[in-house]
Structure 1
Amino acid sequence: MKRGSLTARVLLFASVWAVIALVAIAIVISQLYRTGSERAFADLLRAHLNSVINAVTINEQGRLAGNPQLGDLVFDQPGSGWIWLVEPLGGLDGPRLASISIGEEAIPSPSLEILPFGDRYQRSYAADDGFGNHLEVIETEVELDNQGHAARFRVGGNRAVLEAEIADFSANLYLALALFGIGSLIVNAIAILYGLRPLDHARQALGRIRAGEAQQLDGSFPREIAPLAGEINALIEANHRVIERARMQVGNLAHSLKTPIAVLINESRDMTPAHASLVRTQAETMQAQVQTYLDRARIAAQRGSVLARTEAAPVIERLVRVMAKLNRDLDFAADIEPRDAVLAMESQDLEEALGNLVENAAKFARNKVVVRLRPAPAVEGERPMVRIDIDDDGPGLDDEGMREAMKRGRRLDESKPGTGLGLSIVGEIASEYKGSFTLARGESGGLSARLTLPALITEA
């Protein structure tokens, strides 16, 4: 998809939003699960703590007694990280009671000044056992009889179990969301491409119009695009009517001026030679200038049309063949690349511009005239152009001579026939089509006329 594509923009926005949404969902769900798992872990430890409290008493010897059965073998496995511990306080004598999993290890606890008991007279903290396990410990102190004998009860759980469970859930969650996200992106891409297909059909229809294969947007368009297609067709039809009207008016004007000018030229034959030459010269110049401005009016009317197109190769080759027949002492050559170059202009305007340049080159060439067509260097944001160079091996011109030659009506060699309007007409045609015309010294030492004209790019 090309830069600036509407499809690419929609796909990019939908994809980026889907990725951001899925990542946010994954983070939120994972955090919620962690919070819930930690809460459930703490509740489990409190339940075990209550079971241990209910199972421990003071025997007749005034010592701690009891054998808590918490229903989980992990408390009987040394180094499992799941422990319970009961330690006597105050005047209570005797050893502590502890689960097999803790053995003789001591579990450090923070001082009450640092971490006091909470509302339930319980406190929770992290600790490490002698096996390197990270524990979550729930602690409380309970008075066991009416004589003031008390004990400290602690139950600890291995946080690695909790973290492993959270990591396993997160991995499954991320995998599920990734699969869902990939599927959503594929479905979104298919839906967007299918939904924007009518725009692609409209683009192809416009390409056929630009290529001269159709006169209007054909096809069935959805309700949202149909009004736009109708407006474009109406615009094309209005443009066509304007062009036809301009052509008719140009033809009428040319016809109305042709006869009076012809009468002036004929009448000049009955005058004295001096007066006749003056009138004939001025009438011919007037005729050429009138034709030039009529052509400019026609070009201005045609320039904005999307239907103007000319294949360059046939025009150049036909012109070279004609000039070769008229100038048998010269060698004419055409070098065209690419062969399928299409110009966004009328064929008669291209023929007139190239005809003037090739004819001018033939007047001054010694042996050879070459017509070359190449793509012009691309400029970002500008329409594509082609460059046509007409080179001869004549004497050429210096910089001052080139500037003079471009002026209307100037003839640098009075021994050659012409009105001095040819190069000026070429420049005006190029300018009307938003192109350019320049003169330079050719590689063979002669004159090189460079014509830069707009090309037509047709998209499939």
Structure 2
Amino acid sequence: MRIKSLTARVLLLTTIWSTVALVVIGLVISTLYRKSAERSFEDLLRAQLYNVINSVTIGDQGALAGSPQLGDLRFAQPKTGWYWLVEPLGTYTSAPLVSPSLGVSSLPVLSVLEAPFDKSYERYYGVTDEFGNHVQVAETEVVLDTDGRAARFRVTGNINVVEDDVRAFSHSLYLALAGFGLGSLIVNALAILYGLKPLDKARAALERIRTGESEKLQGEFPREILPLANEVNALIESNRRIIERARMQVGNLAHSLKTPIAVLLNEARVLERSHGDLVRMQAEAMQGQVQSYLNRARIAAQRDSVLARTEAEPALERLVRVMRRLNVEKEFELSVSPNNLAVAMEQQDLEETVGNLLENAARFAGHKVRVVAGEAPDDVKGTDAARRHWVELVVEDDGPGLEPDEIREAMKRGRRLDESKPGTGLGLSIVSEITSEYQGRLELSRGSWGGLRASLILPGVTKDVA
């Protein structure tokens, strides 16, 4: 599974590298220390061997004589693995000299083929004594007098001493390396977090752009991130220019079409009633169609802008205030929660969609119209709820409402279910088109008051309350 976090990636790589490096370092140091300990152990046995040689002579009766004092109590304690032994060689016979630690026991001797002598006529090999101790033997053969009488000298040391020494050193070494490795990981983690902190600042700056608090990336960035910040700012500026140019073109087109349509409407009034009504209806339909497609073109030009943001409460309050003045006999309720609720739409698009719904509700309401804005429930957010933030705007009245078949009919462009009420029949279809351009949707159903309930699911943004 791929790791998406840069911090986790770097920490994983540094952890793996540090672990491998410390293990290799530990093994190398431990091996070098073992070789050094074995070499020191061999030098100690050599020194003890020379002491024994210097302490032994041939007596007056031709027997081996001497009492080596090696200064180590282990040579006097039984079964320790620390022994010295002097044995006569050749035809010359004499009782061997033995350390008190060996007593009447004997030591096995390897053949010269198994352990040959070196250039100093010494050899070192390992054996197991009668007590189960693994011992290292230092051996040489020395001529003791002018008659050619010689003896074999052997000094042994317990190899467990070396093993215990290496084991204790390795334990201390691994503890030290583990502590060093853990400290290195902590330092690396802090260094990585500190090094990647500018990315968090860039993310926060982008968040401020998305929520409409800023129009470009602002802040001090390191040299590695500064080109990215400059490119993002250039992209935002280019996007803004494209939007402004599209708006200007749409405005120019609207103005160029407004006059010919107005002329047609005026001319329709002076024509005969049968012909005039037909021309007027077609001109009004053309006017609605032109306005609808101009809106769609304008929205398409600005839909991908990261700066599209409208505070819900002020915009809805203005619309409700106008509706109260135009419909003094009806009651309008407004509820917005939370107070900082914002919609990712241009203000004029939000006002047009909600305004159409309010006009429709006021036209058919008995006495009351209610507007509620808030977070969209989980069951109506859609399939990409995890990736986007959604809000719900509900306009509800206490009028007669619509049946499911009537709802489907009302959503068709230019269809009016009640010809006695004024209007062109374009309101709900325009609302649906604008909403869909913002990737939202319009849902119609029967409300709790028995009238029509219009629900707008729109993309939203939120701003933390200080």
TM-score with structure 2 length normalisation?
0.79
The unaligned stretches of length 5 or more in structure 1 are: none
For 1:96-245, what aligned pairs fall within 5 Å after superposition? 97-103=97-103, 109=108, 116-118=114-116, 120=118, 122=123, 124-125=125-126, 127=128, 130=131, 134-138=133-137, 140=139, 142=141, 151=152, 153-159=154-160, 161-245=161-245
Q: What is the alpha-carbon distance in structure 1 between the residues aligned to residue 394 and residue 87 of structure 2?
A: 104
Any idea what SS the aligned residue of 2:422 has? coil
Any idea what SS the aligned residue of 2:68 has? coil
Change (3 A) 1:393 1:110: farther
Any idea what SS the aligned residue of 1:455 has? strand
Whether the 8 Å CA contact 1:38–1:162 is kept in 2: the answer is: yes
Measured after TM superposition, the shift of residue 358 of structure 1 is 3.6
State the one-letter code of the partner of 2:210. R
Q: What is the alpha-carbon distance in structure 2 between the residues aligned to residue 331 and residue 76 of structure 1?
A: 114
State the one-letter code of the partner of 1:455. G
Q: What is the alpha-carbon distance in structure 2 between the residues aligned to residue 246 and residue 307 of structure 1?
A: 15
Change (3 A) 1:135 1:54: farther
Any idea what SS the aligned residue of 2:126 has? strand
Q: What is the alpha-carbon distance in structure 1 between the residues aligned to residue 405 and residue 230 of structure 2?
A: 54
The one-character-per-residue Cα deviations of 1:401-425 (angstroms, maximum 9, x if unpaired) are 4443333333344444332322222
For 1:213-292, what aligned pairs fall within 5 Å after superposition? 213-292=213-292
Whether the 8 Å CA contact 2:308–2:345 is kept in 1: the answer is: yes
Measured after TM superposition, the shift of residue 348 of structure 1 is 1.4
Measured after TM superposition, the shift of residue 327 of structure 1 is 4.7
Q: What is the alpha-carbon distance in structure 1 between the residues aligned to residue 109 and residue 301 of structure 2?
A: 94
Q: What is the alpha-carbon distance in structure 1 between the residues aligned to residue 28 and residue 365 of structure 2?
A: 82
Q: What is the alpha-carbon distance in structure 2 between the residues aligned to residue 375 and residue 62 of structure 1?
A: 114
Measured after TM superposition, the shift of residue 346 of structure 1 is 0.9
Paired residue for 1:371?
A: 372
Q: What is the alpha-carbon distance in structure 2 between the residues aligned to residue 112 and residue 410 of structure 1?
A: 116
1:419 to 2:424 alignment: yes
For 1:247-396, what aligned pairs fall within 5 Å after superposition? 247-324=247-324, 326-327=326-327, 332-365=332-365, 367=368, 369-375=370-376, 377=378, 379=384, 382-392=387-397, 396=401
Q: What is the alpha-carbon distance in structure 2 between the residues aligned to residue 35 and residue 400 of structure 1?
A: 94
Q: What is the alpha-carbon distance in structure 2 between the residues aligned to residue 408 and residue 110 of structure 1?
A: 112
Q: What is the alpha-carbon distance in structure 1 between the residues aligned to residue 125 and residue 401 of structure 2?
A: 100
For 1:8-157, what aligned pairs fall within 5 Å after superposition? 9-49=9-49, 51-52=51-52, 55-56=55-56, 59=59, 64-78=64-78, 80-86=80-86, 97-103=97-103, 109=108, 116-118=114-116, 120=118, 122=123, 124-125=125-126, 127=128, 130=131, 134-138=133-137, 140=139, 142=141, 151=152, 153-157=154-158
Aligned residues: CA RMSD: 3.9
Whether the 8 Å CA contact 1:408–1:424 is kept in 2: the answer is: yes
Change (3 A) 1:37 1:392: farther
Q: What is the alpha-carbon distance in structure 1 between the residues aligned to residue 92 and residue 359 of structure 2?
A: 126
Change (3 A) 1:242 1:31: same
Q: What is the alpha-carbon distance in structure 2 between the residues aligned to residue 322 and residue 129 of structure 1?
A: 112
The one-character-per-residue Cα deviations of 1:101-154 (angstroms, maximum 9, x if unpaired) are 4455666x59769x9324547453363774x7x533226474767888764735
Change (3 A) 1:105 1:202: same
State the one-letter code of the partner of 2:349. D
State the one-letter code of the partner of 1:124. Y
Change (3 A) 1:97 1:275: farther
Measured after TM superposition, the shift of residue 258 of structure 1 is 1.3
Change (3 A) 1:241 1:349: same
Measured after TM superposition, the shift of residue 280 of structure 1 is 1.6
Change (3 A) 1:256 1:443: same
Measured after TM superposition, the shift of residue 309 of structure 1 is 1.3
Q: What is the alpha-carbon distance in structure 1 between the residues aligned to residue 26 and residue 226 of structure 2?
A: 42
Measured after TM superposition, the shift of residue 315 of structure 1 is 2.4
Out of 353-362 and 80-89, give the one that drifted further.
80-89
The one-character-per-residue Cα deviations of 1:380-410 (angstroms, maximum 9, x if unpaired) are 8723333334445555545444443333333
Measured after TM superposition, the shift of residue 290 of structure 1 is 1.0
Paired residue for 1:436?
A: 441
Q: What is the alpha-carbon distance in structure 2 between the residues aligned to residue 277 and residue 435 of structure 1?
A: 37
Any idea what SS the aligned residue of 1:307 has? coil
Out of 192-201 and 291-300, give the one that drifted further.
192-201
Paired residue for 2:456?
A: 451
Out of 319-328 and 300-309, give the one that drifted further.
319-328
TM-score with structure 1 length normalisation?
0.80
